[in-house]
Every structure is written in C-alpha cells, then in structure tokens.
C-alpha cells in the first residue's frame, strides 16, 4: 500500500459533509432556503440550494476564446452554452468525482503543472493545485471509486519516468505515488473492479524544456497497462504491433473492455500496424476493428479522443487531422460509420450509446443520434459569429 494518509470511511464522510455544507444546510431549512433565494439575489444565483433556477451542465469542454483566453465551457444537454469559466492555462482532460458529481477536476495540458477543481453547481473554480517540483501533468486523471483519492499521470521528467500520483481529495495533498510502468503515461481510467487502472502509455520521452518535441521515436514503447492501485503492481501490459503506434487515450466500458486510441508517430496507412483504434477484453493482444477501405487512411494517423457508452456496444472517436468522427461497434469490433467534421476532437457519448456529441476547433458542436441502426447528425450548434470559441481536445459528459 503506497498511498499514505488514507482516512477511514467515517472520517472521509465527515470531511465530505463539511465540504458539502452549503447545500445541506440550506436544504435542511426551508426558511433559510427561501431567504437565500429571495434576498441575497446575486449570492443566491451561485448557491446550489437555488439549483431549480439553474440548468444542470451536461458537458464540460476545454476551449480557447478569440482573444486567446483559456476557458472551460459548460453546455446543457441540448449543447446550449451555460457558462464559461476562465482558467489560467490551457486545459486538457477531466475527472468527475463519483461521489460528488458536481465536483470535476480539470488538468492542464502537457507539460502543464496546474489542475483546477470546478463546482458545476456553482459554475466556478473552488480550488486549484499544482504538480510537485520536477513533475508535470499529462492532462488526465481519475478518482478512486470511493472518491477519496485522485490519481494523475505525471512526468518525472529528469528521470524520464512516468508516475501515477495519488492525492487526497480532502485537501489535494499528495499522499503517495506508484510507477506507471512506462514512459509517457497519458489518459487513465478506473477499471470497473475499482481496484485497478487502465493506463495509456504513449511511450515517448518528453521534457518541458522542449515541450512539444518527442525526444526519441525509435525508443518508443507504447502500451496499454493495467496497474493495481493498492500495490502499484503491473497487472498486464499490451503493446501495439508497431512501436510507433503511441497509445495516449482510452476509455473503459462497464464490462471492463478497454478501447484505446492511437497516434501514429510515423506514416500510418492501411493494414497491419496502420490501425488507430483497438480493443482489449482479456485477450493476449490488442484487437483492431474491421474497417472499410479508407477508414484508417482518412484518420491521417491520429485519433485524438475516444469515448465508450457505459452500457451497450457503441463508442465514438475523433480525428482532428482527418476532419472525421468514427462510430465503433466495439462488441462486433467493427467501425460502423465515418462522418466528416472539421477539426473534430472532443467527444462524448451517453450511457446507452444512443446519443453522441463532438466539438471542433472551429467552434462547432455537433450532436448525433443512433436511429434504425445508424448514426445520424441531429443538430449543429454553432458558435456566434464574432464570438468564436475554439474547442480543445477533450470534453466530459457530467450530467
């Protein structure tokens, strides 16, 4: 057990209840609730107790405003913008607290060192923390099943070592760490057993002094790793057939099937070694889906994000280089559909796999529905002219 300072459940509940004080207090007293709503109008607008007057955010996505400012954008279920929250660096991925769904942690993009805690109900940042010296975030993290710890992929860059750092979610202090068992760990997700993580290993050494440079492509060793949280032990490692197939993003279905998205650091093409999405569900190797002619080539060697529906068999992935979205029946392991969308990257899909959403670098939000066995574009919500938002790499369904 390498996580220190792990409080017992009762202490955790007590701390959590203190942190949730405003909602509980107001909720326990009708008079106080009305008073807050009726008198402290500006204040009440930000209080969770007055939530009925506010639409709940369904999605949060990182974006850049026309003047270059970095923001988090909250959308409702119909993709209408609810709020923009400024952050002081470019944001990347998200982690939602399973026990407190209004709490989302946002991570700065590699090689960023900041992370922000967002209260979705209040629509504001409520805390922020940084990586330790000599470390930077890789832009992704995940809560433990009980919400007591946050686990982040980080770069111990002088040692060239990928680590997973554990923080207490009471105060965001670091309480432990364990190896990612590979260089360049990127996205990680909690497995359904609650005890292990699926970790995407990009396999490329980088250093913040040369922030966007891949230092040694020939030495790349990408993989999908399974790591036990309690011990930090490597439970399994699955490498793609071509060492240039960097694995940076993944998602996990309810049954534990892991879907990975690949960025080819060479010149990807069709055929073996050219696949850019793969599935793992206990086999000895990653299984690449069946694809129609042109499906892989159209993705231009790069898949930026993948999301799987919690139930069912559907997933969505994006390729901003290929201006394309791919819909994937992962149970049959077959790419069902490839649809164009300019600079598409951030994607989300609902729990049943019947609704999907994607945003693009040109400010578009597109909603898709699955009907009669096919994915169909249902809605295009555009940014207003002159107020263009450039949506960044990732979004999270938080509704």
Choose which of 304, 315, 348, 349 interacts with other proteins (CB under 8 A): 304
Q: Annotate 158-194 with b (16+ C-beta within 10 A) or e (fewer).
A: eeebbbbbbbbbbebebbbbbbbbbbbbbbbbbbeee
Q: Is the dihedral of CA 34, 38, 39, 43 positive or negative?
A: positive
Q: 344 and 377 in contact (C-beta within 8 Å)?
A: no
Q: Which two tokens stand for residue 171?
A: 């105060």
- Min separation Cβ 301 and other proteins, Å: 8
Chain Cα centroid distance, residue 273: 26
**Given candidates 14, 25, 41, 80, which one binds other proteins under the rule CB under 8 A?**
41
Asked if residue 110 binds other proteins (CB under 8 A), the reply is: yes
Query: Which one of 125-133, 164-172, 236-244, 333-341 is the stretch in contact with other proteins (CB under 8 A)?
Result: 333-341
Q: Minimal distance in Å, beta carbon 254 to other proteins? A: 27
295 binds other proteins (CB under 8 A): yes
Residues 149 to 188: which contact other proteins by CB under 8 A? Answer: 186
Angle in degrees, CA 143, 247, 339, rounded to 5: 95
Measured CA to CA in angstroms, residue 364 lies from 172, 302, 367, 391 at distances of 34, 20, 10, 8
Q: 166 near 150, Cβ under 8 Å?
A: yes
Which one of 30-38, 232-240, 275-283, 328-336 is the stretch in contact with other proteins (CB under 8 A)?
Answer: 30-38
Quick one: 31 or 218, whose CB is closer to other proteins?
A: 31
Q: According to the binding rule CB under 8 A, does residue 312 interact with other proteins?
A: no
Looking at 342, 351, 371, 374, which residue binds other proteins (CB under 8 A)? 342
Residue ranges of the alpha helices (H) in the chain? 9-19, 21-28, 30-38, 41-44, 295-298
Q: Which residues bind other proteins (CB under 8 A)?
A: 30, 33-34, 37-38, 41, 50, 52-53, 64, 66, 92, 109-110, 139, 186, 248, 263, 267-271, 274, 292-295, 297-298, 300-302, 304, 320-321, 323-324, 338-345, 360-364, 366, 376-380, 382-383, 385-386, 388-393
């Amino acid at each position: 057990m390498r996580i220190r300072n792990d409080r017992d459940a009762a202490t955790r509940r007590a701390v959590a209840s203190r942190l949730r004080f405003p909602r509980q207090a107001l909720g326990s007293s009708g008079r106080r609730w009305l008073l807050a709503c009726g008198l402290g109008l500006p204040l009440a607008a930000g209080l969770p107790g007055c939530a009925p007057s506010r639409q709940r955010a369904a999605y949060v996505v990182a974006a850049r405003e026309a003047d270059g400012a970095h923001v988090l954008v909250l959308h409702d279920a119909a993709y209408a913008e609810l709020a923009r929250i400024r952050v002081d660096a470019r944001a990347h991925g998200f982690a939602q607290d399973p026990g407190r769904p209004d709490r989302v942690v946002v991570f700065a993009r590699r090689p960023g060192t900041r992370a922000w805690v967002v209260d979705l109900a209040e629509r504001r940042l409520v805390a922020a923390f940084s990586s330790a010296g000599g470390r930077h975030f890789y832009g992704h993290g995940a809560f433990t099943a009980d919400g007591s710890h946050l686990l982040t992929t980080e770069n111990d860059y002088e040692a060239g070592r990928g680590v997973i750092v554990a923080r207490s979610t009471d105060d965001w202090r670091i309480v432990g760490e364990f190896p990612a068992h590979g260089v360049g760990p990127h996205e990680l997700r909690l497995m359904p057993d609650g005890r292990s993580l699926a970790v995407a290993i990009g396999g490329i050494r980088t250093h913040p002094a040369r922030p966007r440079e891949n230092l040694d492509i020939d030495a790349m060793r990408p993989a999908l790793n399974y790591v036990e949280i309690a011990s930090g032990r490597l439970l399994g490692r699955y490498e793609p057939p071509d060492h240039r197939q960097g694995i940076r993003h993944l998602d996990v279905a309810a049954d534990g099937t892991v879907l990975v998205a690949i960025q080819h650091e060479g010149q990807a093409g069709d055929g073996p070694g050219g696949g850019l999405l793969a599935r793992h569900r206990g086999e000895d190797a990653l299984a690449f889906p069946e694809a129609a002619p042109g499906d892989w080539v159209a993705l231009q060697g790069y898949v930026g994000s993948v999301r799987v529906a919690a139930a069912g068999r559907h997933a969505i992935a994006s390729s901003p280089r290929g201006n394309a979205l791919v819909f994937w029946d992962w149970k049959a392991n077959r790419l069902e559909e490839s649809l164009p969308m300019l600079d598409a990257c951030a994607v989300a899909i609902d729990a049943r796999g019947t609704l999907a959403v994607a945003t693009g670098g040109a400010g578009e939000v597109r909603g898709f529905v699955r009907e009669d066995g096919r994915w169909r574009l249902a809605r295009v919500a555009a940014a207003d002219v002159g107020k263009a938002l450039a949506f960044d790499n990732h979004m999270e369904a938080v509704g």
